[in-house]
Structure formats: structure tokens, C-alpha cells
Amino acid sequence: MKIAVCVKHVPEGQSRLDPASKRLDRSGEGALNHFDANAVEEALRLKGESDTEVVVVSLGPAKAADSLRKALAMGADRAVLVSDDGAVGSDLVATSKALAKALERESADLVLFGQQASDGDGAVLWAAVAERLHRPVVSQVTELTLQDGSLRVKRQTEFGYDVIEAPLPAVIAVSDAINEPRYPSLKGIMGAKKKPFETLSLADIGVDAGEAGEAGSKTEVLALGEPPSRGDARKIEDDGSAAQQIFDFLAEKRLV
């Protein structure tokens, strides 16, 4: 059996938009998206002692290799990074195209995603990839079991839980409540350096230049603007009379 886990290298710290490109500034330090760490952990749990291969797949710049190596250090067997200047600026549509093509090469029985990325919070990429692969998809999964060529999941909703069964191959987006990701051990970190790591271009996965990057994107950012003003505000320093100051303020506004 083969499990593929899609992971993303996201900026660390406070996000910043580049006014020139109108895109997220990714020039600083980055890290493995913490939602994707749950997906990696779940793949390793399912692998257990069985004859299962876990491969991590990503689309990103060359430094995304750091996040893939962390996944390898956690216990994944192999990594595939699609890194190409032509993919810069890809939106959801273009990204899903490239990832789906990379996943087609792998022919995995199960594809896992984290629920969302901390830099975009779109929480729909897994659905777009599943659509391109023509596979069933379930999101917000908090429990996952495999049995006889199918899977059974517990899906969290605002009203409770759904129990869903689906045939393999399938795409699953796991919730961050599904597990607690392990920390890579020193042995795992050292071993990750010897594990197979493949870097591919868009041409390698059969994606034309016009299908990725800004050319292949269906959305465009037209302008950036400052957030609206919050209006009149009063800052209260607590010198022991903060409660009285707050009361006086509310009284002034006729709210008490």
C-alpha cells in the first residue's frame, strides 16, 4: 500500500503582503504547515509495522525542502518536491493542477491533506485535487481506519459527528484533533538525509507553462489596501483605577 501526504512550506511569524507582487511575502524563514504535520502523523500511524510506503509531496520553492525533510525525519519514506519558477504565483486552480499531476505519478491508495494551510486558510485545496483525481473526498476527519480496500472515518461537524465509509483510492483531509504529531528524533533527523528526495519541474509532471503560475491562475489580486479605521478609541492604562475608567467611559456612551 502507498500513502501520499501533501504538505506545504509556510512562512513563520507574522504574515506580510508584498505590495509590488500583491502576493504573500515568502522571503523569510518558513516551516512545515502545522496542520500538515497531523496528516504526516496519521500516515505514519496507519503504516505501523505494515508494508506501507509513505511519500510526502509538495509544490513550492527550493527551501520547501526543509519542510519535506522534517516529514522524512518524522518517519516518512520518500519525498517529492515540485519546484519550478513557472509555478510562482499559482492560485488554488493552478496549484491543484500541479499537485494532482504529481500525485498521478505516485498512484497512491490514499492521499492525505491537513485541513488547511496557516498562510491561506482556504481549506479547499484537498477538494480541488480530489476532483481532478476523480476520487471520493472526506474532510474534518478525526478518526480514520482502513479495512479491506475501503476506509471508515469519523467526520466532525457543527452538529456532531458523521461516520462515513468510502472505497479506496480516496482523498482525506484530517483535522488537527486527530492526533498529536511526534517530534523528530535525532536518529530520524540523521536518517532523513539518506532517504530518497526527488525534485521535479513542471515539465517532469506534464504541466504546461500556461497551466501554472499567474498564467494558469483563474484569480487575480487587483489592489491592496489598508484595513478600515476602528474609529475613535481610548487606551486605558491600569494604574489601579482601570475599572472606574471603563465604567465612566461606558456611562459616557450611555451603555450603562
What integer best gives the mean pLDDT of the chain? Answer: 92
More confident residue, 240 or 36: 36
Q: What is the pLDDT of residue 170?
A: 97
What's the N-to-C CA distance of the chain in angstroms?
Answer: 65
Please tell me the distance from the alpha carbon of residue 175 to that of residue 79, in angstroms, as a whole number: 22
Q: What percent of the chain has pLDDT over 70?
A: 100
Q: What is the pLDDT of residue 52?
A: 93
Does residue 84 lie within any of the structural domains? Answer: yes
In tens, the pLDDT along 154-207 reads: 999 989 999 999 999 999 999 999 999 999 999 999 999 999 999 999 999 999
Is residue 121's pLDDT more than 80?
no
pTM of the model: 0.85
Does residue 152 lie within any of the structural domains? Answer: yes
Does residue 44 lie within any of the structural domains? Answer: yes
Strand partners for 5 = 56, 112
Is residue 232's pLDDT more than 80?
no
Is residue 229's pLDDT more than 80?
no
Q: What is the pLDDT of residue 240?
A: 86
Q: What is the pLDDT of residue 171?
A: 98
Does residue 245 lie within any of the structural domains? Answer: no
DSSP secondary structure code for residue 228 in this structure: P
**Residue 165 sits in a domain of what CATH number?**
3.40.50.620
Band (pLDDT 50/70/90 cuts) for residue 152 is very high
In total, how many domains does the chain have?
Answer: 1
Of 58, 162, 37, 138, give the one whose Cα is nearest residue 106: 58
Does residue 246 lie within any of the structural domains? Answer: no
Does residue 253 lie within any of the structural domains? Answer: no
Does residue 178 lie within any of the structural domains? Answer: yes
Is residue 128's pLDDT more than 80?
yes
Does residue 233 lie within any of the structural domains? Answer: no
Does 184 sit behind a cis peptide bond, omega within 30 degrees of 0 on the bond before it? no
User: At 139, which amino acid appears?
Assistant: S
Structural domain range at position 62: 2-216
In tens, the pLDDT along 70-112 reads: 999 999 999 999 999 999 989 999 999 999 999 999 999 999 9
Query: 3-class secondary structure for 172-219?
Result: EEECCCCCCCCCCCHHHHHHHCCCCEEEECCHHHCCCHHHCHHHHCCC
Contact 197, 68 (CB under 8 A): yes
